[in-house]
Amino acid sequence: MNDQQLLRYGRHILLPEIGIEGQEQLLKAKVLIIGLGGLGSPAALYLAASGVGQLTLCDHDTVDISNLQRQIIYRTSSVGQPKVASAKAALHEINPEVECIALEVRVDTERLHELAGQADVVLDCSDNFATRYAINRACLLQGKPLVSGAAIQYDGQVAVFDFRKMDMPCYNCLFPEDSLAAELRCATTGVFAPLTGIIGTLQAAEALKLIIGIERGLGGKLLTVNALDMNIMRSSLSKDPTCSVCGK
């Protein structure tokens, strides 16, 4: 690390669990973020500020005025621009050292496997179940840690599936694909703005610890947040031996 980096990341370096060694791991790390909406916005901002070496941003959408209530990486002047291009510019302003790869695409299964394979950690910040199941499969097969987040109305959740480890439950163990009656769409349901900030920020925190190898956190666990009662609960997940994705 050079002098500027020692200054920029000094408050991380002072933490015994991170130190110079941990910060150097962050500088070398590659994180894939799927979805640059309410969750992806704060997650990307904190990962860039923290000095994660490479961020790959995936989103096919353009910025809409209705996004600005919670998607804090964008400005009013961003409306109409591709989300990933606008986000990349914002991240560069915060930390020009971070290499940002902007992919303005809706990723298919094959591309997802390729991108997950290249990443050290994957953040699921998407807003639909089809994408969540596809990301879960890709991370499981590629053996990459997945930090899954969701937020709707006042309810949010974060779960970490560290597929570098044996016998880790997967997203499908938690929410089996075929058991879903109807899907609440974030596009058509209200969401409390700061809740997306809370969940996306928790995802960034878990990603940093996964990169550094800090074992404490949400590995194999689910954290649920209700922002109306401000009730936060953590529970352990168990692997479903009959799971259609990770079971034998």
- Shortest reach from residue 240's CB to Zn ion, in Å: 6
Find the radius of gyration of the CA atoms of the chain.
Answer: 17
Measured from the CB atom, the residue of 55 and 170 that comes closer to Zn ion is 170
| Contact with Zn ion (CB under 5 A) among 25, 78, 172, 196 | 172
246 makes contact with Zn ion (CB under 5 A) = yes
101 has which bridge partners? 56
Instruction: Indicate the pairing of strand 155-162 with strand 145-152.
Output: antiparallel
List 234's β-bridge partners, or say none. Answer: 223
By rule CB under 5 A, what count of residues binds Zn ion? 6
If the CB atoms of residues 67 and 157 are measured against Zn ion, the closer one turns out to be 157
Pick from 67, 101, 55, 63: nearest CA to 82: 63
What mask, x for binding Zn ion by CB under 5 A, covers residues 90 to 129?
----------------------------------------
- SS3 label, residue 146: strand
Site stretch for Zn ion (CB under 5 A), options 49-57, 154-162, 178-186, 238-246: 238-246
Instruction: Compute the distance between CA of residue 32 and CA of residue 147 in angstroms, rounded to an integer.
Output: 10
Q: Which stretch binds Zn ion (CB under 5 A): 80-88, 149-157, 168-176, 209-217?
A: 168-176
Contacts of 100 (CB under 8 A, 6+ apart): 48, 54, 55, 56, 57, 87, 88, 91, 92
Window of 56-64, 103-111, 166-174, 217-225 that interacts with Zn ion by CB under 5 A: 166-174
Residues in touch with Zn ion (CB under 5 A):
170, 172-173, 243, 245-246
